[in-house]
Amino acid sequence: MKFSLLKSAGIGALCAATTVMAIDPIVIKGSKFFNEKTGEQFYFKGVAYQPRTGLTAENPDPLADTVGCKRDIELFKDLGINSIRVYEVDYNKNHDTCMKLLEDAGIYLILDMPSPKYSINRANPYWDHDLMSHWAAKVDAFAKYPNLVAWIAGNEVANDKTTTPSAAFVKAAIRDMKAYLKSKGLNTPVGYADNDDMDIRMNLINYFNCGDEGTRADFYGINIYRWCGDDATFETSGYADVTKNMTDYTIPSLLTEFGCNVVRPRTFHDVKSIYGADMSDTFSGGIVYEFTEEDNDYGLVKVSYGSSKVDKTEDYENLKQAYAGVNPKGVKMSEYKPGGRASVCPQVSSVWAVKADALPPTPSSARCQCMMDSLGCTLKSTDLTPDEGKVLGEAVGSICGQTNCNEISYDTSKGNYGNYVACDSAQRSAWALDKSYINSRYTQCDVSGVDTITVKSPKQKDTAECLTMKDDMGNIAAPSTPVEDDDDSEINDSDDSDESDNDARDDDEESESDGSSSSKTSSATRAAFNLSQFGAAAAVVMAVVAF
């Protein structure tokens, strides 16, 4: 889907401006959320909401399912919640009915920007116009709803020390989506949700709250599954350590997922700590995972798409009782004086491969199209099948193992990004094919299994002009710093499996999600492949478009 981001902004801004506010706005001041009208501190008492049982549609969207909304919102009110987190919606559908029902019930929505097909992959991260345009379309579809309280730009993307380069791309996405929201006259906060990994926890916490304000997350979420069973306590569960880590944080933090299911039924004894003296001064509440019972056994209720029938689990009544027993008051907005400074950026180390002061560039469809117009050897079509994508990936991997592919490469540990690293995968592949064509003295423009063409007289003669093209936010895109050559580097044959942004949450609580997921049980359909590495931490990353 290709469209002008700036042109679509005006329509969304108009919708937002003409919406009658029937629910109190929630705003951020310092490290806390507040009800802007009453001045009371706001705590999220929510559930994750992504029904999947009985789903037949290709794109799951619980907020477009009128039957499900009417059924479940009555249960939301019975549970006493004030918020839900939804991972995946179809922005082409109409959400007016469900969003109005939620608004009337006083329930706010936290919505993930990515979806399984359009997310930053932790193993092969990139941030391009294709991703940005889909995220922007979701923003446009929901900008008019007053109970949309926050966006999440990434869910457990960097989840261990080997995937930390992906954090740079998530932060670039936060920068660009914050700018996009601002261009529409919107100030809905954009945050990140981590997976509470011991090795990189503090690096992530500091990274998303350091540097220029325009690149920092507006709030930070922690997905935590430590408090398991009735014998656990604030100290033994590790909640005390997590709270200590966030005590002096200068942006709000909340538990974007919680609710260990090692012992069932769950009694949610951690709720008393989350909303009590242990944590309420540090965290702004949390979101229980999850509302519906799916294959991973976290559900509060059993439901199916298209059916009004509901079967409650024991967890439902236990959570209802736990939420009813807490009512944190916090501090008045008028009396609250934020303190502290933004975090100190983490340094590159054996467990952190991101230079903090450099981010991937803002996507520029104009720059990438200019580059495509300059190629003498290119793809006949950028619409590729998964098989063609796999073949092309192997071919490009071979090419970049033998020649300099710095223009489509990046090295997050050095903060170097090629001029075309923000082009989409097909465009980056075409660039590599043309490079090989030039190296063969214009004799070889063939990839078995993929249609290629030669162009005798490309439309664009001078690629230097491409580097002056505006980015997708209308800014002049400055040339990037390419990856440096490393003649001594060895080719690293990586596993070519597709690590999706939305794999299943295992029974042992290990999350495999690469980005904000629509569920914990499905896989992304975007085929991805790893290519050769250049230097110690550089990587050429390609991914074919979703088919």
| Catalytic residue annotation | 156, 257
CA distance 494 to 390: 14
CA distance 206 to 220: 10
Residue 267 burial class via C-beta count within 10 angstroms: exposed 0-12, middle 13-18, buried 19 and up: middle
Identify the bridge partners of residue 221 per DSSP, sorted by sequence position: 193, 254
Strands (E), 317-466: 377-379, 409-411, 416-417, 452-454
Give the per-residue SS3 of 521-543. CCCCCCCEEECCCCCCCCEEEEE
Task: Give whole-number Cα distances, 385 to 52, 388, 467, 523, 528, in Å.
Answer: 27, 5, 30, 18, 12
DSSP 188-253: --EEEEE---TTTHHHHHHHTTSS-GGGS-SEEEEEE----STT--TTTTSHHHHHHHHTT-SS-E
CA distance 292 to 280: 27
Phi, psi of 105 (to 5 degrees): -85, 0
- Rg of the chain over CA atoms, in angstroms? 24
Contact yes or no for 278/243 (Cβ under 8 A): yes
- Show Cβ contacts of residue 369 under 8 Å, excluding neighbours closer than 6 positions: none
Token code pair at residue 525: 């359909």
Closest CA to 512 of 172, 163, 125, 264: 163
Q: Listing from the earlier edge strand, what are the strands of the sheet with 539-543?
A: 416-417, 409-411, 539-543, 528-530
Residue 131 burial class via C-beta count within 10 angstroms: exposed 0-12, middle 13-18, buried 19 and up: buried
Identify the bridge partners of residue 520 per DSSP, sorted by sequence position: none
Question: Tokens 């939301």 map to which residue?
Answer: 76
Token code pair at residue 205: 């916490």
Closest CA to 194 of 239, 155, 238: 155
Q: Is 311 helix (H, G, I), strand (E, B) or coil?
A: strand
Contact yes or no for 222/511 (Cβ under 8 A): no
Token code pair at residue 58: 């290709």
